A and B are shown apart, each in its own frame.
Chain A
Amino acid sequence: AQSVTQLDSHVSVSEGTPVLLRCNYSSSYSPSLFWYVQHPNKGLQLLLKYTSAATLVKGINGFEAEFKKSETSFHLTKPSAHMSDAAEYFCVVRGPGGSYIPTFGRGTSLIVHP
């Protein structure tokens, strides 16, 4: 069985300050992990993915995430928030060995203040 927990339902930051969105996962084996962003009235877009090649993963729009097996975490960070980053963010876990069913977290709403 696999699961994912997004620790914050809302995160509020000021423009230009760092962003941290937290995600913890549970999986019997080394999973593949993803972060998706959902802007209002738009489809989910992939930000980045971890596939065991490197623990620090860089994605689009300046986002990155670090896979920490000992902490079962995959937190999403960005050094400096932009107004356009305001959106809903989802952490996703998929199983090993080609297991295809993704499990989504409940989402974290990122609010960016000017």
Chain B
Amino acid sequence: GAGVSQSPRYKVAKRGQDVALRCDPISGHVSLFWYQQALGQGPEFLTYFQNEAQLDKSGLPSDRFFAERPEGSVSTLKIQRTQQEDSAVYLCASSSGAGAFDEQFFGPGTRLTVL
């Protein structure tokens, strides 16, 4: 069965460019999370969706970051006017439920490099 997929796998952007990162969760999964993983660090929470509702965006580092999940399935993380400090791996995870015990299934990530 298909797992969580992310595209592109690698993205190089010039400083100031806008980028869009896509996440395809497992079909039917209610919850979707975005994380940012800097080199040598653990993933850090960015934002959380339950179906199409963005319930928490407290981890987004600035107003240049925006995420959406309009139909409750595919999600897009957009970064406007990219900066060098945005360089990281962006991970998407989905889970079938919304509880604290639910297993999250992770995608392979998108490695963003801002020059």
Decide whether A and B assemble into one complex.
yes
Interface residues of A (CB under 8 A from B): 31-32, 34, 36, 41-46, 49, 51, 90, 94-107
Q: Do the beta carbons of A104 and B31 come within 8 Å of each other?
A: no
Query: Across the interface, which residues of B come within 8 angstroms of A43, CB to CB?
Result: 3-4, 91, 105-109
Total interface residues on B, CB under 8 Å, equals: 29
Query: Across the interface, which residues of B come within 8 angstroms of A41, CB to CB?
Result: 108
Q: Do the beta carbons of B45 and A102 come within 8 Å of each other?
A: yes
C-alpha gap A80/B75 in the complex (Å): 41
Given A43-B4, A46-B104, the answer on whether A107 and B41 have CB atoms closer than 8 Å is yes
Interface residues of B in 63-114 (CB under 8 A from A): 91, 93, 98-101, 103-109
Q: Do the beta carbons of B100 and A104 come within 8 Å of each other?
A: no
Q: Do the beta carbons of A101 and B103 come within 8 Å of each other?
A: no
